[in-house]
Amino acid sequence: MADLILKPGKERSVMRRHPWIFAGSVDRLEGRARAGDTVLVKDAGGKPLARAAWSPESQIRARVWTFDCEQSIDHAFIKRAVAASVARRASHPWLAKQDGVRLIHGESDGLPGVIADRYGPVVVVQLTSAGADKWREAIVAGLVQATGCSAVYERSDSDVRKLEGLGPVSGLVFGEMPEQLTIVENGVRMEVDVAGGHKTGFYLDQRDNRLLTGQLAAGRDVLNCFCYTGGFSLQALAGGAKSVISIDSSGPALATAARNVALNPQLDAARAEWREDDVFQALRTLKTEGRKFDLIVLDPPKFAPSAAHADRAARAYKDINLLGFRLLNPGGILMTYSCSGGIGLELFQKIIAGAAADVGVEARILHRLSASPDHPIGLAVPEGEYLKGLACQV
């Protein structure tokens, strides 16, 4: 095993149990290590601190597997970590009966670069780091053993793999896929496209926020922007919304949304309208038409993947929230989100406050919104809190 020696003073973050070791903290590598190999992290004085996966092409040069330097990183270690992560979800009363659950959430579950989502009998795995990629076989075997799933499908096709020197990998790695895959989320049935959908096929992190949307939607005219396959819209209909207009630029996503409505005969499809359009332009058109709404959902894609994009993203977030505030009736609620890691919660709230001030409305926060509990945040890894949202009433 090679030793990764840190520069003097750079051991502090590791001592605080932060699992990332950046290139600027590395003094040298003693011995040889290929991408994904386990290295022993030591401070400048040679004191062992952790065992980590080496990634020579990434700015995050190593990701910690364990802070117990006596622990061996092998198939048994990986499978135990997978089993423990799955068991945590099974013991949570909000998650135990859900069809769709995130089983592994990367660093927060002690498995850096590993994402695993269960949709009924199928588990979708996404490996985004060199270390995770090296232990693919053990991760898949651990998931099969811990869940009893009938299939594991890999969706390691995100752009972040390029930063690790890895190419895209997608396809079935275990079992057989069902002809159609659907899940029931809080009483609403939805189709999941694990091969072609966003991320692993669906956005499980918004589960609780979709449920809250349904609870707030009763008797209201609802506008859902960046609706994707209609998760927020269907919950709004289930909650008794008077009407729901849903907008997305993706025709295939809207086609899936239409199928999702058909999967739920208990919902009044006549109350739903689906529009294929650029959301920014559509909001301006609705303003010109004099339309008003009682509940608006703004769940845009990632505008700022890193802090370097924060300024440009801040302008986009302000623009879209300004348009949202203008379309609200008095007493209306804006549920607005950011999934951008480069936009922190404090900055996001300042952006929303600035948008409200520019429109000339007073607004108060009813709910602070975050990811569902199957997307935990490691106490030592605040960067894991990527999804943040506010429910603001004007």
User: Would you name the residues annotated as active-site residues?
Assistant: 339
Which amino acid type is present at position 390? L
39 - beta bridge partners?
2, 52
- Inter-residue contact 156 to 126 (CB < 8 Å): yes
Dihedral pair phi/psi, residue 215, rounded to 5°:
-70, -30
Q: How far apart are CA 368 and CA 345, in angstroms?
A: 10
Buried b (16+ CB within 10 A) or exposed e, 76-100: ebbbebbeebbebbeeeeebeebbb
Q: At what angle do helices 207-216 and 231-238 cross, to 10 degrees?
A: 40
Q: Which among 33, 36, 214 has a CA at the least distance from the CA of 129? A: 36
Structure tokens at 320: 């879209």
Instruction: Count CB-CB contacts under 10 A for residue 211.
Output: 18
Alpha helices in the chain (DSSP H): 12-15, 75-90, 130-134, 136-147, 207-216, 231-238, 251-262, 279-288, 310-326, 345-359
